[in-house]
A and B are shown apart, each in its own frame.
Chain A
Amino acid sequence: MKWALEGIRVIDLTDSIVGPFTTMLLAGCGAEVIRVESRMHLGFRRNGPWGPWGSEGIPQIPEEMIDFDEVDINLLVGPTYAELNHDKLSITLNLARSEGREIFKRLVKISDVVVENFSHGVMQKWGFDYPDLRKIREDIIDVTIPALGKGPAEKWSTWGMNLLSYSGFTYFWGHPDTPVTERMASGFHGDYIAGTEAAAAILAALYFRARTGKGQHIEISQAEATVSVLGLAYLDYFVNRRISQPVGNRHPQFAPYNCYPCRGDDRWCVIAVRSEDEWQRFCRAIDQPSWTGEEKYQTMEGRLEHIAELDEHIAEWTRKHSPHQVMKILQSFKVPAAAVQNYEDLFYDLQLRQRGFILEQNLPRLGRIEVSGAPLRLSSGQKIPEHRTAILGEHNNYVFSHLLGMQEEEIKRLEKDRIIF
C-alpha cells in the first residue's frame, strides 16, 4: 500500500474552487479522481473568468457563442484550472442526454465516492439523488458541497465572495473606520475552508465505511463551513449579545501588534509583541531609540493605552526598511514579525522554495508555469504529484474502453452523437 487512498475511485463533478480543491486533496493521497466534464458545459474553470479566454482583462465568450466542434481542447487548460486539477483524470460525458446519464451510472457502479457542488436540485433532476445512486452502488459515498444546502434558499445562486458577505466575514473584515461597502469580500477564503472540511469529511466517511461496510450521503453547506470558522464572533453574540465590530490589525490584549508601512510603494510588514520578554527583545532589535525607554511603554497596559503614538514611533523605524528586512531583523531576536508578502514575494519565498512546496507544470498553451504544491506533508501515504493537468477528455479511452469495457465502434458513435463530447 503506497498511498493512503490507493484503489479509491472518485467521480468529480465539481466546478469553481471549493470542489476542485476538495478532490485535489483526495488526489494528493493517491485516489483516482475522474473529472466528468463536457464541451457542452465548460463551466467556470475551463471557461470562466480565469479560463483561457477569460483570464483577467480578457472578455469571456458566452457558451452560446462557442462552436463546440471547433473548441480547441488544448486551450482549455487555464492556470487556475491547473492549480486545482493536476493529477486528476478527465473524461467528457454529456449528462444533459439520457444516454450520457446511463453511462454515468455504470461509472458509479465501479466508484467509491461521487462529489459535486451544484445547487440542490441538479443531481435530483438527472436522477442522481442519493437514493438513486445507492441503488446502483450500495456503499457509495455521495458528497454535495452546495453554497447553502437544502432549505428555503437551496436554489440560490451565489459565488464564493457572496458567501463571505452572507456568513458575516465581510462585516468583521476591515479597519474600524472602513465603510461596509469597502470591506473585504473579494477573496476565496470560504471556498478553501469548505473544501478542506469536505475533504476531511469524505476521509472520515471512507474510514467509517472500511469499519462498517456502510456508505452514506454527506452535505457540506459552504455557508455553514464558513460560519464555523467565525465561531468566536458568533459566540460573543450568542452569550454576550454583542455584534463585534471590525478591529483592523490591532489586538485587544497585546501591543504593539499591527501592520506597519515599509520602504517602497504599498509595502507593509506586521509586528506582534505578546509579552514583556518580546517587548524587551523588540527594543534591542531596533537598537533602542530613546522612546523605547519611556516609562509609559514599559507595561502591556501602558502600551495599549498609548497605542497610537507607539505605532507612530514604530512606523518611523519600519519605513526605513523593506518588509523582509523587518522580518529578518525582528525574527532573529525571536520577535514575531513578517513581510506582508505579495504574489511576487511568495513566488520567490525562500522557505517555500527550500521545502520544495512549489510544483512545476507544462501547459499546452502557456508552457511552463508554477503552482502551489501539497498544503501538508504526510510521512507516508502521500502521492508524489506528476505535475500534469489533463486536457479535456484525455482519459476517455482509459475510462470508457478499459474501465467500462465499451467497444470502439460504440465509443465512436457516442462521440458523433455528442454523448461522449
Chain B
Amino acid sequence: MSGGDPSLLDDVRVLDLAEDRGQYAGKFLADLGADVIKIEAPLGSKARKTGPFKDDLPGLENSLYFIYYNTNKRGITLNLNTTVGRDLFKQLIKRADVLIEDSDAGTMESMNLGYPALCEINQYLIMASITGFGQNGPYRDYQAPDIVSFAAGGLMYISGAENEPPVVAPCEQAYHASSLMAAFGIISALYLRLNTGKGQFLDISTHEVLASFSQGIMRYSVTAGSGGRTGSQFFAAPARIYPCKDGYVHLLVFYPGHWRSFLDMIGNPEILSDKAWYDATFRAKNRDLIDPITIEFTSKHTRAEITDLCQSRGIPCTPVNTPADICDDPHFIARDYIIEIEHPAAGMHSYFAPAPDFTESPAVIRRPAPLLGQHNQEIYAELGYCDQDLIQFKADGII
C-alpha cells in the first residue's frame, strides 16, 4: 500500500507498551511513518479481550478494538515480569527512539524500568508516560479509566441534556485526548533532539489534557459559574438539532447575517419581522416561539435539502450523521478517507486513512494490526536471537 515517498517519521522507532489510554499515540505516530513495535504480554494485550469483536465472537484476533488501535504497528510478545524479559526489553530500548507507556505512576520504576534506568542504557530515548493524573500530586495514585478522567477533567459535567444525568462521550475520548497530546509531545521532543542530541521524559496527565479541553478554569475565573448541560442547544436560536423529514439537522443561526438569511429561507414570517430578533440573546430567550416555527420548516424537508438551503445562504448547518450516513456522504466519498484494508482474521474491511494530508510525505496505512507475536522472529533476530532461542523463550514463558 505504500508509495515510494519518504515518510515523515521513517527513521523513528517506537516501543509501545500502552494498554489503554496511550494506544492511540503509537497509532498516530505509526500513521506518520514511524516503526512502532507493539509489545504485548505472552497471552496478549488487554485490548485483544475488549469488544466489539468481528461477528460478536470474542477471540484474540477478532477484537476490532485491538485492530483499530494497532493497524500500522508491528507486534511482539514479551513478559516484563521475568528477568530475562526485562533484559530483552533493555536490548530493545538500546535501539529505540521512543517508549510509550500508560501504566499507573510508579509501575515502571517498580520493575527497574523507570526513565533514569532506561536513560542510562540509551540517552537518546524519549519516554512518554501517560497517566490518569500525572507523576506527582495528591491524586497521583488514583485509578483512572476513561470515565474517571472524563468526569474529573470537567467535560462530563457539561455533557448531556439539561434534565438528565451527565453522560460520558462515546469511544473513550479521555484516552484519545491524552494519546494525541502525547504524540504531539513526542514529536516535539524528537525535533528538539535533532539539535541537542538528548532524549527526555514526558509527563502526560490525562486530567490536565481534559481540563484544558473544558475551558472550565477560565470560565469559573471570569464568571464564578459552575457550567451546566444544554444538550444540543447553543445560546442563540434557532441553534440546536431539529427533526426533519428523514432524520435530523443541526442548525446554528448566530450572527445577524445568519438571521437575515434564515428569515429569507423560511419566507420572512411577519411575526419575526421586528429588528429586535437580530439579537442572538433576545432570540435565545424566546426559543419557545422560534423553535416551533423552525420545526414547521425543517419537518417539510429532507436533511440534504435543509443543509443545501442553509449552506447556499451561508448559514452553518449539517445533517446529524450515523456511520452509515458518512459512508454515503458525497464529500467523504470524494476525499477517499475511507479505504479498504485486509486483516488475516477480520478479512477485507473499511478503515480510515490517516486524517492529516501531507503533499510531500504522505501518511498512509501500510500494514494491518499484528497477530499475536507476529513479528517476534524478525525483531528478535535483530538482537541476534535465532529460532532456537525463541523456542526456548517461549517454553520459559518469556515471549
Contact = CB atoms under 8 A, between A and B. Distances in A.
A207 B9 contact: yes
B191 interface: yes
The interface centre, meaning the residue of A3, A170, A233, A369 with most chain B CB atoms within 10 A of its CB, is: A170
A355 interface: yes
B189 A378 contact: yes
Given A184-B167, A352-B217, A369-B218, A376 B204 contact: yes
A346 interface: yes
Given A59-B281, A341-B152, A376-B181, A201 B165 contact: no
The B interface, classified by DSSP as helix, strand, loop or mixed, is mixed
Interface in B113-153: 133-134, 136-139, 141-145, 147-153
Interface stretch (A93-101, A174-182, A299-307): A174-182
Contact of B215 (A83, A199, A366): A83
Interface string A241-274: 0111011110111000101010000101110101
Interface in B346-374: 346, 349-352, 354-361
The 6 A-B residue pairs whose C-beta atoms are closest, nearest first, are A216-B360, A172-B170, A165-B250, A237-B323, A336-B143, A185-B232
Nearest to A230: B171
Interface in B316-367: 316-327, 330-331, 334-335, 337-338, 346, 349-352, 354-361
17 contacts: A49-B236, A55-B222, A60-B255, A152-B331, A156-B318, A165-B318, A168-B322, A182-B164, A184-B161, A184-B167, A193-B177, A196-B180, A207-B191, A218-B357, A232-B172, A342-B158, A345-B154
A357 B211 contact: yes
Nearest to A26: B188
A168 B355 contact: no
B282 A184 contact: no
* Most chain B beta-carbon neighbours within 10 Å: one of A29, A246, A338: A338
Given A343-B217, A346-B220, A355-B136, A372 B211 contact: yes
A73 interface: no
Interface stretch (B195-203, B262-270, B378-386): B195-203
Say which size band chain B's interface belongs to. Answer: 35 or more
Interface stretch (B36-44, B60-68, B83-91, B391-399): B60-68
B19 interface: no
Contacts of A405: none
Contacts of A150: 335
Contact of A148 (B182, B243, B331): B331
B43 to A, nearest CB: 16
Contacts, number: 516
Interface string A188-218: 1100110011111101111110111011111
A340 interface: yes
Question: Which of B145, B182, B188, B252: most chain A Cβ within 10 A?
Answer: B188
B100 to A, nearest CB: 13
B315 to A, nearest CB: 7
Contacts of A206: 191
Contacts of B225: 343
Nearest to A208: B8
A371 B215 CA distance: 8
A234 B230 CA distance: 26
Interface in B23-62: 24, 28, 32, 50-52, 54-56
B213 A188 contact: yes
Given A162-B250, A162-B316, A193-B177, A186 B222 contact: no
A297 B248 CA distance: 41
Contacts of B231: 178, 181-186
Given A173-B159, A349-B211, A274 B145 contact: yes
Given A192-B177, A351-B133, 11 more contacts: A4-B188, A82-B218, A159-B316, A166-B250, A168-B326, A184-B169, A185-B231, A185-B320, A192-B213, A251-B147, A377-B203
Interface in B208-225: 208-209, 211-225
A173 B346 CA distance: 27
B137 A351 contact: yes
B290 interface: no
B22 to A, nearest CB: 13
A350 interface: yes
B180 A371 contact: no
B155 A189 contact: yes
Contacts of A199: 184
B137 A355 contact: yes
B81 interface: no
A249 B167 contact: yes
B338 to A, nearest CB: 8
B250 A220 contact: no
B356 A229 contact: no
